[in-house]
A and B are shown apart, each in its own frame.
Chain A
Amino acid sequence: MKLNLICINFAFLYYSHKRLSQYYLTIIILLNIMQTTWPLWEIFVRSKQGLYHKHVGSLHAADAKMALENARDLYTRRNEGISIWVVEAQHITASSPDDSEAFYEPANDKVYRHPTFYTIPEEVKNI
């Protein structure tokens, strides 16, 4: 079946050489025949109005529209959400746990960023 598709695409390329975009399209389709695995998407769901979207898991889908529909079927079967974001996993940059000590170090010695750092006399109210 794959071989047939390749032949069809070559024929397509031959008869439509006038349009460069179609040439590109053919190349893409050919590449796709070698790699048909759907990409991975990360799913974020807002459970109700007023709350942030929260990461709930991931799934595979061919494109964003399919990812949204699959996310609805997979992660909101019991009214768990009113809004869904899908992001292709490859577009997410994550911090590394190995560097977490150095990475978060700048915040460690800044205790003055917390309200409890300051001593206020008990007589002073509403502060």
Chain B
Amino acid sequence: MQALSIVELEQRFQAKVDAEIKIEPKDWMPDTYRHTLIRQISQHAHSEIVGMLPEGNWITRAPSLRRKLILLAKVQDEAGHGLYLYSAAETLGIDRETLVQELLSGKAKYSSIFNYPTLTWADIGAIGWLVDGAAIMNQVALCRCSYGLYARAMDRICKEESFHQRQGYEIMLVLAQGTPEQRQMAQDALNRWWWPSLMMFGPKDADSPHSQQSMKWKIKRVSNDELRQRFVDITVPQAEYLGLTVPDPELRLDTNTGRYHYGEIDWTEFKEIIKGNGPCNRQRMRTRQKAYTDGEWVREAAMAHSQKRALKMNPTQAT
């Protein structure tokens, strides 16, 4: 068979993508497609891992055993999601250690939302309801991503995330129907988490330089602004049911389109957090680095143990 030129290979690749045929690890793909996916999937994985920290903060202080068990299960799920995603990234030819080092050195990014602090128990409700809600909105679209492994990981994650959002809303519901202080706590959490949640969808379409190529490759299926709009449209009525006020004076329902108009996002705050200047950026990185360093002897010991056992079982294969 005659070797195909890069242009021909790229045309074949795009034709497959256009025909909705999933791309699998060993298939030919353009280098930029590979690198875009590695960046996106690993950022997503890092977000799941760092995302355990704000909620982990409340495991020991959950208000009841029921809430504690739920929160433990949720945080464990986030760890699992990180691992599905790291595995998916590894199929693109990058190893786990490199991915972890990129996070620890600050080279790789993770979602800006996890750099905000969790000040009260209501924050755990707001995170489940809003942050996981926004994540689901984004991830449902990614279930149709052209890269098979990413799509399959997303499929699994979406099924598991649904409980995350519902437990969060339930926390908000209990607080909103509680004492005036509890109600105020719920409102305060909504005030602090609303705008950062809208930022989770990324820059406006006009300011999102990679979006167009990602749409063509079907890595991205729905634009940032459209996903953000869908999130606002479904979330505002949920806030109304709670009897809480969304902290946006410009928010109003456009009766012609049936969609909500919302105010301008503070993109300066978003950019500062991406740069590392959010309220908890340094704390989050320190925690991850400490976990990695403290766990090093365990990883080494486990490996030494496994090799010792292998040797005992088959001494002739010692090399």
Residues of A within 8 A of B (CB): 1, 5, 21, 24-25, 27-29, 32-33, 36-38, 40, 57-60, 62-63, 66, 73-74, 77-78, 94, 96-98, 101-102
Closest CB of chain A to B291's CB: distance in Å? 16
Q: Please give me the 5 A-B residue pairs with the lowest Cβ-Cβ distance, nearest first.
A: A63-B306, A24-B318, A62-B302, A62-B306, A58-B87
Say what secondary structure dominates the interface of chain B.
helix
Closest CB of chain B to A45's CB: distance in Å? 12
The answer to whether A59 and B83 touch across the interface, beta carbons within 8 angstroms, is yes
Q: Count B-side interface residues using an 8 Å CB cutoff.
A: 35
Closest CB of chain A to B152's CB: distance in Å? 8
The answer to whether B299 and A32 touch across the interface, beta carbons within 8 angstroms, is no
State the CA gap A66–B310 with chains docked (Å): 14
Residues of B within 8 A of A (CB): 1, 24, 26-28, 73, 76-77, 80, 83-84, 87, 90, 95-97, 153, 160, 296-297, 299-300, 302-311, 315, 318-319
Closest CB of chain A to B300's CB: distance in Å? 5
State the CA gap A5–B77 with chains docked (Å): 35
| Contact A77:B77 (CB < 8 A) given known A24-B315, A24-B318, A94-B26 | yes
State the CA gap A24–B9 with chains docked (Å): 49
Contacts of B309 in A (CB 8 A): 63
Closest CB of chain B to A52's CB: distance in Å? 18
State the CA gap A46–B83 with chains docked (Å): 20
Contacts of B84 in A (CB 8 A): 57, 74
Closest CB of chain A to B297's CB: distance in Å? 7
Most buried by A among B304, B305, B319: B304
Contacts A1-B297, A28-B308, A62-B299 known; 15 new A-B pairs at CB < 8 A: A24-B311, A25-B318, A27-B318, A28-B304, A36-B303, A38-B303, A58-B87, A63-B302, A63-B306, A63-B309, A77-B73, A77-B76, A97-B28, A98-B28, A101-B1
